[in-house]
Structure 1
């Protein structure tokens, strides 16, 4: 999933407060901004409950003094939080309130979040319509918008259109935007994977993996490793497949995803059996409790 936090809004907010000048922020606004920044960082790191508490507090501080820019920025982040929490009605209400504030520089971000919300609700037509609004509203979000349009067409199994937009995303996104570039490389790899262009797909998935490692995103690293294992299985390179599954198991078990890790261990045992390596498969199953407890996995092939 694309989860872009509106950090750009924070920059715009700071510029709005200072009017482009290096002036001291009034105490009330500074307090609101501090709480907003804290909540946004928590949102970025997945601490949703803590983020909700701080972002709601920030919104109240901004709204109490009719600070339109700060209110709008905080509402967009709250909408993102509630969408990620599965609370789509609350997310839509926050976006509607932000839209009513009519902060011109926020319109692209609002449209982007509306597209994500529509996608989460499986309304693909509305999602694409909002994503295309982003292309016109905010040049800085064009790469992310192309990424999102590509994802919509991937879900619709319109793979050539998806490929076109993900390539546009990669041509547009700055090198420093590791999160969006990783999303684009992963999607490009998945497109090649479903079209059985596995060698090219592996190359894109490896690029996504390197970026997700830089970002320290265990969930995305696990996804990349799973996709790479699938690609190598399709290429009938069983040792590479098992090596990626082994790495996937270690990431899952050491990031608290114990059920997923146990399922990956069983998949490895099944794949070993398929290669006629029953002894190694039995060793995996026999020692599963120990491996799970210690978060380790020897190479048995």
Structure 2
């Protein structure tokens, strides 16, 4: 039986999470509806635009994403340190980018005089918003609610648009994070809607490749968590490897899972795979079955047992799969 999100999302064990939302309707979220012939392709742009906006407003970084025909995948990093450093005014400005706020918070932003009692109410409200702006559930709610309203308006109907709130997997270590990001970035290739990473529309890997091609100053898009951090140093900001290594790994994996090369494994795999100490056969299995084979908590046996102890689980979920794939 799946664990509730509140028993999986714990920033004490990891700041990295894989989240997925699926559409409840028979009709596609995006793409072409084979029954009616109507195209919903433009909705991918809605989701991508809203997602990248939220990544700039929340204290939550976007590591990877892929927007598919009836669902989307995200790999998120919660940066609670950033939220704690924001001033009250910055918290208020960020929240008002998404919601109207209250009469008092609007007066606060406009620098209108407030009584002591009114200021106390504003500070209480801002404390609540500060927590919400580093909360994955609120991030997903703010994303899904906006898309559901827009889709319902376009379809001239009411009712549920998403199958459920969202599903979540905790990524406990560098191996799990890397495998999940590649799994997400290669979703269009596995679904045969793209042939290469650079043609995979509405994915984080295409956004990163486009930034490299256009020669941006940092060669990394500002809307995504950059590469170059250190997983073993909690204060280190960024993904724990280099961009070039990651793109090489995505490209190698994508070629290895092509339909015309089923079971093919190159003799020369990227150095990053060797550093992660994952066998190529296990890696390809992870890159194609990450979501179906692994549930809830994902990582090495050591990380898995440490997390289950912290969460107070009586059993260690997914221990056999993690032992096989990450040992």
**Bigger radius of gyration among the two:** 1
Q: Please identify which structure carries the higher strand content.
A: 2
- TM-score of the superposition, structure 2-length normalised? 0.27
Larger RCO (CA within 8 A; separation ≥ 6): 2
Q: Normalising by the residue count of structure 1, what TM-score does the alignment of the two structures yield?
A: 0.29
Query: When you count helix as a share of all residues, which structure comes out higher?
Result: 1
